[in-house]
Amino acid sequence: MPTSLSSLDYFRDSYEVRLAQLNEKRRKGTKIVGTFCLFVPDEIIFAAGADRIVLCGGRTDTIHLAEQYLPRNICPLIKSSFGAIVDACCGGNLSCPHIQLVDVVVAEATCDGKKKMYEILPEYVPTYVLDLPQKPESSEAIDYFLAELRKFGGFMEKLTGNVLTDEVLKREIQSSNETRKLLRRLFDLRKLDPPPILGSEILSVMQKQFFLAPDQFRQGISRLCEELENVIPEPRSGRRIMISGCPMAAGNTKMSDIIEQKGGVTVVEESCTGTRSFWDLVDENRNPWDALAERYLEIPCACMTPNDRRVARIVDLAKQYNVDGVVYYTLQFCHAYNIERLRVQQALKKEKIPMLAIESDYGDSDIEQIGVRIDAFLEMIS
């Protein structure tokens, strides 16, 4: 679909600029951390004087490589990410050049598939695993997570040789909050009816959030907000859809594309490539470690139990964005999101908000069939 938004060019060009920046930083001795999940706080990495890039794979072409090592029946995000690493480390091929840039992977104990993949990673790249309590609302969880974050801080200090002070950490918290507030401003614009921008356009921007440097990303988001606020953009009409579920990592725009090719318009994504990454701020008036532990433990990921917070958030977002329907998106074999679907469906049903559940991988073979189901869903809610 054609776009008239010139600020999106900034994001298209930003990739090469960032790659050059990362190479230069490495040359000068800055440590680069690769991450796979929102639960790893950027603030700690930056406060220790390192940089970070996200390594989550959204592409199909590395999956067959991963399948030589891992079972086929695990989620495509894990296979795609692992395949890129194997390709780079064993084949020397840079199907994804990012792994060559990182000094260490900071992984996290979330779903079983990722946890087990992280046990194999040290054969290819140094890996540190941040542990997470699985019941974030239990009374012991916050202390446990706080201790884990402090341990991680110690690890980062050793890696970089820098001392991680509270003062610098507070500065990084402010910086990350600034990004979160800007994203709120951007997403608020999507509440307009019709929205001024397509969901697929927003997704391509959000997929760069944890790859670009924070100031580089903020510059682009500011420009985009200003353009959407000041230039009267071409309205994007269609049934208003929320996508809720698994992350859509760079390379995977399948769901968003199908919805918009069929005439719907995605107005919000309840996802780690959507609201989950920025909705809540870190409290700037508290001890920075306590504030980080509290905020990060509140990320409503389906790997946590119970996860009432997410169910409530989805209903709230559906109302705030005045959606006509929710497409519940699960990556194939992601049991956490797949099983949580039932509770989400029940909560939405109570509010009379229609929902369509779709489970898919990164391949093309089901595009037509998903299209037929989306067509029928859009017709039903019109």
Contacts with ligand BJ8 by CB under 6 A lie at: 37-39, 75, 77-78, 110-111, 113-114, 246-247, 272, 299, 301, 303, 331, 334, 336-337
Shortest CB 223 distance to ligand BJ8, Å? 27
Q: Which is nearer to ligand BJ8, 33 or 336 (CB)?
A: 336
The position carrying tokens 């916050």 is: 142
Shortest CB 113 distance to ligand BJ8, Å? 5
Q: Which is nearer to ligand BJ8, 83 or 233 (CB)?
A: 83
Q: Which is nearer to ligand BJ8, 186 or 304 (CB)?
A: 304
Shortest CB 271 distance to ligand BJ8, Å? 8
Q: Which is nearer to ligand BJ8, 39 or 362 (CB)?
A: 39
Shortest CB 260 distance to ligand BJ8, Å? 22
Q: Which is nearer to ligand BJ8, 83 or 113 (CB)?
A: 113
Which among 321, 320, 315, 379 has a CA at the least distance from the CA of 352? 315
Which among 356, 274, 349, 285 has a CA at the least distance from the CA of 317? 274
Two tokens at 202?
């927003």
Give the integer Cα–Cα distance in Å for 131 and 307: 18
Q: How many CB atoms lie within 10 A of CB 21?
A: 16
Shortest CB 329 distance to ligand BJ8, Å? 10
Q: Which is nearer to ligand BJ8, 136 or 247 (CB)?
A: 247
Give the integer Cα–Cα distance in Å for 359 and 331: 6
Q: Which is nearer to ligand BJ8, 137 or 157 (CB)?
A: 137
Shortest CB 78 distance to ligand BJ8, Å? 5
Shortest CB 370 distance to ligand BJ8, Å? 17
Shortest CB 318 distance to ligand BJ8, Å? 19
Q: Which is nearer to ligand BJ8, 7 or 271 (CB)?
A: 271
Give the integer Cα–Cα distance in Å for 196 and 213: 26
First to last CA, the chain: 22
Two tokens at 142?
């916050």
Give the integer Cα–Cα distance in Å for 148 and 298: 15
**Can you tell me whether residue 240 is helix, strand or coil?**
strand
Residue 229 backbone phi and psi in degrees, to 5 = -80, -30
Shortest CB 325 distance to ligand BJ8, Å? 22
Edge-to-edge strand ranges of the sheet holding 264-270: 264-270, 239-245, 325-331, 355-360
Helices and strands in the chain, H and E counts: 14, 8
Give the integer Cα–Cα distance in Å for 152 and 47: 12
Q: Which is nearer to ligand BJ8, 169 or 336 (CB)?
A: 336
Q: Could you please report the per-residue DSSP string of 67-95?
A: TTTS-SSS-HHHHHHHHHHHIIIII---S
Any bridge partners for residue 130, and if so which?
A: 108
CA distances in angstroms from 254 to 113, 247, 358, 359, 366, listed in the order given: 22, 12, 12, 12, 10
Q: Which is nearer to ligand BJ8, 156 or 299 (CB)?
A: 299
Shortest CB 305 distance to ligand BJ8, Å? 12
Check if the beta carbon of residue 337 is closer than 8 Å to that of residue 302: yes
